[in-house]
Amino acid sequence: MSLDDDEDDGCTVLIKGFYHHIYSWWERVLQRGVTRHTRAGNTNVKNLYRPDDQIQYGKLEPTPCP
């Protein structure tokens, strides 16, 4: 839900079709030795989604909500 209009430089980012890969990606994250997980309900993974993940699963795409 968006309460106001988003802009490209401060909006939700998505990876098209990522729902097909989220479990395999999370396994990769755990193999990297991540011990502190994001809070329940927090979907900001900017520090967990790395350049090699972008090659494997796709780039983050700005998706502004009007």
Q: What is the pLDDT of residues 17-43, one digit of tens each?
A: 999 999 999 899 889 887 665 555 556
Residue 25: its pLDDT value, please? Answer: 93
Nearest by Cα to 15 from 52, 50, 63: 63
3-state secondary structure (DSSP) of residue 13: strand
pTM for the whole structure: 0.68
As a whole number of angstroms, the distance between CA 49 and CA 6 comes to 22
